[in-house]
Structure 1
């Protein structure tokens, strides 16, 4: 009996040790590398130090894809496009914002075009591989309604967390602080040729 108990303890310790080693080695594989370049939409890949240094280029590149997703009308297209540049809480928040706008009678047609995103101000701090960015940007675009277009120049302020996830830089947290529509723009008529 004593020998069986002793063998059971040795067996349990062996299994626990093996499980611990497997867990530790898998944690090593998911670590983020300082020297690996992570992809950025429309730009060369960036390592963590380069992304911190060039956050003024990284932020608009990610936001441009978010606005591209917001221009889509099919839920799966919206989600898939957002998933390319967001992850976790940010993906859920931004997806629900867009789908909620559609359900609430917001844009239900692909009638918006983003012409430019200007980063007006940003500060960045780094916590390990995560960049915490306090950003203010202006989106310049047109939104069409029937026979006319509105030129918009809305200004947004948000806190963003950006991290390398699955080989790419992604927004992992997004907290919108302010939207300023004072420069929402003007309305102008469009011809039938322009609207086709």
Structure 2
């Protein structure tokens, strides 16, 4: 249950220097348990459960049992977890303490090794049945060295396949999660269906009969009058015209207006980013397939995923917290080529091309706080009508600019995520 990591291994915990108390909180809700994964430095631990140790900046192996007992008592009594109205007692799955390099000590002039050394453990709350409601409480808010006020604890919560951010403050200490029961389809914005232009079958039949009757009369007259060449030409013309008439008059998709195209694309584009609220890659692909044509899925996944990575935060993947359309130019409406697999013939489908500019605000949450980044993007897209509905079939990224506060842009209404 106790493990000490080797010297220099603090990087495995994700070093984020702060000369004061800090904690990283991650919550996972499944059908059979709630898991609270916590990583904190000894400064925060001592605020949580004051206890005496032989060395203030170290937890020796013999002292681990005392620490585990104190943690279990604290979370059971001071921060109880309620599932469907009933208190659930936790157990500690494992407890690890790192052994950071002394070379990092200059980053912590006030708290020293107590601020640098971290403890990590998981609280497991076993469940007898899938939960409908889980109530969390957080009651420890040491003073922040950055703000001078009580810490604001931001936690990552994963449930029903979705990653969300939960915030605990000294004023708002509780959070209640409710099961939604929603599947992937119901989490997406509704996209208008392609409008099918219906034929008038009765009129079509009447005209076809008239064309056939007139043609037959002309054909007989030409044969009687001894003009076989003209009769043959009339027969060929009838063979061509009648099927062509049906072909032109068959049902088809009606081209969207500019306003309709804007509504279609805004919804599809927002759903692309909503797909990345999911944690598992398979769920992300399933969600993307509701907005993106099959041949573009891999490229779309890779492009959006790269855009969500924050290199300045160690390559962490951010969560989109705001998506704002900036500019929409409808370039053309008509028949577009639909990508096919290798060796397959090209196909066409009714669709439209747009030149689109949008803004994305992404957030990475760790060590109880978050880092945000805002980027503007411009790309050219193709959208086609398929048997399953409208889908993005083409994408050509053009520009990407990092912005934090750009007064030159007048933002359209945000897309709800």
Q: 2:379, 2:395 within 8 Å by CA — same for their partners in 1?
A: yes
What's 1:112 paired with? 319
Out of 322, 330, 341, the position equivalent to 1:123 is: 330
After superposition, where does 1:66-85 map in structure 2 within 5 Å? 66-85=272-291
Alpha-carbon distance between aligned partners in 2 of 1:106 and 1:98, rounded to the nearest angstrom: 14
Q: 1:86 to 1:145 in 2, by over 3 A?
A: same
User: Are residues 51 and 58 of structure 1, via their aligned partners in 2, closer, same or farther at CA, if it must alter by over 3 Å?
Assistant: farther
More divergent stretch after superposition (168-177 vs 139-148): 139-148
Deviation, 1:64, is: 1.0
Structure 1 residues 57 and 107: alpha-carbon distance in aligned structure 2, compared to 1, 3 A threshold: farther
Shift of 1:184: 7.0
CA contact (8 A) 1:51 1:58 kept: no
Distance 1:96 1:154, change over 3 A: closer
In structure 2, what is the Cα distance between the partners aligned to 1:106 and 1:139? 17
Distance 1:99 1:160 in 2: 18
Shift of 1:131: 0.6
Aligned-pair distance for 1:164? 1.1
1:159 to 354, 373, 380: 380
Aligned equivalent of 1:27: none
Structure 2 CA distance for partners of 1:139 and 1:58, relative to 1, 3 Å = farther
Equivalent residue number for residue 171 of structure 1:
392
Corresponding residue number in structure 2 for 1:87:
293
Residue 106 of structure 1 and its aligned partner are, at CA, apart by: 4.0
Change (3 A) 1:150 1:54: farther
TM superposition shift of 1:174: 0.9
Q: CA deviation at 1:78?
A: 1.3
CA–CA separation in structure 1 for the residues paired with 2:362 and 2:276? 13
Question: Equivalences for 1:23-34 in 2 at 5 Å?
Answer: none
* SS of alignment partner, residue 284 of structure 2: helix
Q: Using a 3 Å threshold, how does the CA distance of structure 1 residues 107 and 171 change in structure 2: closer, same or farther?
A: farther
**Runs of 5+ consecutive residues of structure 1 not aligned to the other structure:** 1-39, 186-196
Match of 2:263 in 1: 57
Shift of residue 85 of structure 1?
A: 0.3
Q: 2:355 — aligned with what? A: 134
Hey, what's the Cα distance between the residues in 2 that align with 1:62 and 1:131? 13
Higher helix fraction: Structure 1 or Structure 2?
A: 1
Q: Does the CA-based 8 Å contact 2:320-2:360 persist in structure 1?
A: no
Q: Deviations over 1:104-152 (max 9, x none)?
A: 97445xx514333324232331122121111111224533233322344
Q: Which runs of 5+ in 2 are unaligned?
A: 1-187, 196-253, 336-349, 407-417
Q: Which residue number corresponds to residue 42 of structure 1?
A: 190
